[in-house]
């Protein structure tokens, strides 16, 4: 297999931080601890509605939760704060925490009827069928030479075909996130819902066999959780060949230490789903062992077996416009979605200035600035965070949990912004009130405006040649 430098092709969003620190650890992108505590705003959140796209019926999350708390869901386990609206079937899906390692249930509240059911989503691993007996060979009978008038022509020997080995597979399906995959039943499986052993990590499925662990992390783009390489051991990360994931050819990365492969990972970002798959050595053997060839092959087959299923939306922004930078520009390849009631202004850059776009709605301005990493033009607040700003959680940007910053004056939220740097391109995106329309003393960003900005950031994609 050919080996070439890592950080190429479609996995760039998942491993961009490797370029920044020189070590394969997306954990370095974990939200930084700010000396200024995050700001908590006391504002009223708008009602969270779920609308049946077929009937038009509506139900708020508050109403759905009240129904769920009075149903069998509350008797079976604890209702969590994780929920999703399935507009195709007209239902609220509220995660249910139960004491079962093989089930990841959701409480299903029907918007139209108010009925409540439980979708247990348990793994049904088939029992291996009795293997067919291996055919045994018997010694060839002794050939007796019979004299004939002419020499007998020996019959050609026919090799006994080696029977193809049948691999017993189980199938895992996640209807809420819309994917499924097959895995060998020789691996034990466990579902990691809220993942109490981690902080702000995505949901995952964990497969284990001997001293190997295969982890599948998944999330929707607007979920504020970490995904990707984390706590990787010391070693060199290289791009080794490719694998097929959901009909896309994506890079496969390996981490080598002293010539031994100890971690393999791959992943990609889709419109409505982020995936990360990792195989590593765990336990006492990690210091000297390496991932055997058969396990590496099983990793490739498992990744290739992924398919879309369930009710996952093909486009989470069906009513939004799309903007993409094209041509020979610094931002070529970047694209994002935005609401139709926001107007987009393209600012013709002066020489040496960054590429700039403004999205406007009423008095709000969402400004996007992009420049080459080595360019002379500076982006506002890109190199330093002003003393009035503090870190306030993370937001998904290009599939990466990215630090969000806020500026607050006299208890009022004046500005929200993020900075992105992949080693080649720098991006600064900020939301605030238009100073020409709103005096700074009166500006205050609503929770609705901040949520819209989060959705726009989560919609960002990047095509990499």
The CATH number covering residue 430 comes to 3.40.1000
pLDDT digits (tens, 9 = 90+) for 198-256: 567 888 999 999 889 999 999 887 787 888 888 888 889 998 888 989 878 889 999 99
**Does some domain include residue 145?**
no
Domain that holds residue 304: 3-31+49-123+167-308
- Does one domain contain both 270 and 341? no
**Does some domain include residue 415?**
yes
3-state secondary structure the chain: CCEEECCCHHHHHHHHHHHHHCCCCHHHHCCCCCCCCCCCCCCCCCCCEEECCCCCCEEEHHHHHHHHHCCHHHHHCEEEEEEEEECCCCEEEEEEECCCCCECCEEEEECCCCCEEEECCECCCCCCCCCCCCCCCCCCCCCCCCCCCCCCCCCCCCCCCCCCCCCCEEEEEECCCCEEEEEECCCEEEEECCCCCCCCECEEEEEEECCEEEEEEEECCCCCCECCCCCCCCCEEEEEEEEEECCEEEEEEEEEECCEEEEEEEEEECCCCEEEEEEEECHHHHHCCCCCHHHHHHHHHHHHCCEECCCCCCCCCCCEEEEECCCCCCCCCEEEEEECCCEEEEECCCCCCCEEEEEEECCEEEEEEEEECCCCCCCCCCCCCCCCEEEEEEEEECCEEEEEEEEEECCEEEEEEEEEECCCEEEEEEEEECCCCCCCCCCCCCHHHHHHHHHHHHCCEECCC
**Does some domain include residue 91?**
yes
Domain boundary among 262, 283, 308: 308
- Does one domain contain both 262 and 212? yes
**Does some domain include residue 132?**
no
- Does one domain contain both 232 and 303? yes
- Does one domain contain both 271 and 325? no
- Does one domain contain both 300 and 326? no
Provide the whole-model pTM: 0.43
- Does one domain contain both 377 and 304? no
**Does some domain include residue 131?**
no
**Does some domain include residue 410?**
yes
Query: Given this model, what pLDDT does residue 380 score?
Result: 47
- Does one domain contain both 303 and 326? no
**Does some domain include residue 149?**
no
Domain count, the chain: 2
- Does one domain contain both 206 and 278? yes
- Does one domain contain both 298 and 325? no
- Does one domain contain both 368 and 454? yes
- Does one domain contain both 88 and 218? yes
Query: Given this model, what pLDDT does residue 414 score?
Result: 85
**Does some domain include residue 182?**
yes
- Does one domain contain both 414 and 269? no
Per-residue pLDDT of the chain (465 residues; tens, 9 = 90+): 433 333 333 344 444 433 332 333 333 333 322 222 333 333 333 457 787 777 777 888 888 898 898 888 888 888 988 888 887 788 889 988 887 767 888 899 998 888 898 888 876 544 444 434 433 333 333 322 333 333 334 444 444 343 333 457 888 888 888 899 999 988 998 888 666 555 678 889 999 998 899 999 998 877 878 888 888 888 899 988 889 898 788 899 999 988 899 999 999 888 788 999 999 998 776 677 899 999 999 999 999 999 988 655 556 677 788 898 877 777 888 889 999 999 999 887 777 778 899 999 999 999 999 887 555 444 544 444 444 788 888 888 887 888 889 988 877 888 899 999 888 888 999 999 887 776 655 667 888 888 889 889 988 988 754
pLDDT digits (tens, 9 = 90+) for 134-155: 333 333 333 223 333 333 344 4
């Amino acid at each position: 297999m050919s080996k070439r430098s890592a950080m190429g092709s479609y996995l760039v969003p998942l491993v961009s931080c490797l370029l920044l620190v020189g070590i394969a650890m997306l954990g370095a992108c974990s939200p930084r601890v700010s000396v200024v505590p995050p700001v908590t705003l006391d504002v009223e959140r708008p009602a969270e509605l779920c609308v049946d796209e077929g009937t038009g019926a509506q139900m708020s999350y508050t109403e759905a939760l009240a129904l769920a708390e009075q149903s069998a869901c509350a008797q079976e386990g604890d209702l969590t704060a994780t929920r999703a609206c399935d507009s195709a079937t007209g239902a609220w899906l509220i995660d249910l925490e139960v004491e079962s390692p093989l089930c990841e249930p959701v409480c299903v509240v029907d918007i139209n009827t108010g009925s409540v059911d439980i979708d247990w989503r348990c793994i049904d691993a088939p029992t291996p069928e009795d293997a067919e007996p291996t055919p045994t060979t018997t010694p060839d009978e002794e050939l007796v030479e019979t004299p004939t008038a002419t020499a007998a022509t020996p019959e050609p020997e026919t090799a006994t075909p080696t029977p193809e080995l049948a691999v017993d597979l189980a199938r895992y399906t996640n209807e809420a996130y819309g994917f499924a995959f097959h895995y060998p039943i020789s691996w034990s499986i466990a579902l990691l819902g809220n993942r109490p052993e981690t902080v702000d990590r995505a949901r995952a499925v964990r497969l284990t066999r001997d001293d190997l662990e295969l982890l599948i992390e998944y999330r929707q783009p607007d979920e504020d959780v970490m995904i990707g390489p984390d706590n990787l051991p010391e070693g060199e990360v290289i791009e080794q060949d490719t694998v097929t994931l959901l009909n896309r050819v994506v890079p496969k990365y390996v981490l080598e230490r002293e010539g031994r492969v100890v971690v393999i990972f791959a992943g990609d970002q889709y419109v409505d789903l982020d995936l990360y798959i990792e195989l590593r050595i765990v336990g006492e053997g990690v210091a000297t062992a390496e991932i055997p060839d058969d396990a590496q092959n099983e990793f490739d087959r498992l990744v290739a077996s992924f398919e879309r299923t369930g009710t996952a939306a093909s486009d989470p922004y069906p009513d939004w416009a799309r903007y993409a930078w094209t041509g020979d520009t610094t931002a070529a390849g970047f694209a994002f979605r935005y609401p139709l009631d926001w107007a987009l202004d393209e600012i013709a850059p002066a020489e040496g200035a960054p590429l700039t776009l403004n999205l406007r709605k009423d008095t709000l301005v969402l400004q996007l600035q992009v420049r080459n990493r080595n360019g002379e033009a500076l982006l506002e607040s890109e190199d330093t965070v002003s003393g009035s700003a503090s870190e306030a959680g993370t937001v998904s940007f290009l599939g990466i949990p990215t630090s969000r910053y806020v500026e607050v004056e006299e208890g009022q939220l004046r500005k929200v912004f993020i900075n992105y740097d992949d080693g080649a391109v720098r991006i600064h995106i900020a939301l605030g009130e238009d100073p020409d329309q709103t005096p700074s003393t009166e500006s205050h960003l609503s929770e609705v405006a901040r949520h819209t900005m989060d959705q726009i950031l989560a919609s960002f994609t990047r095509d990499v040649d």
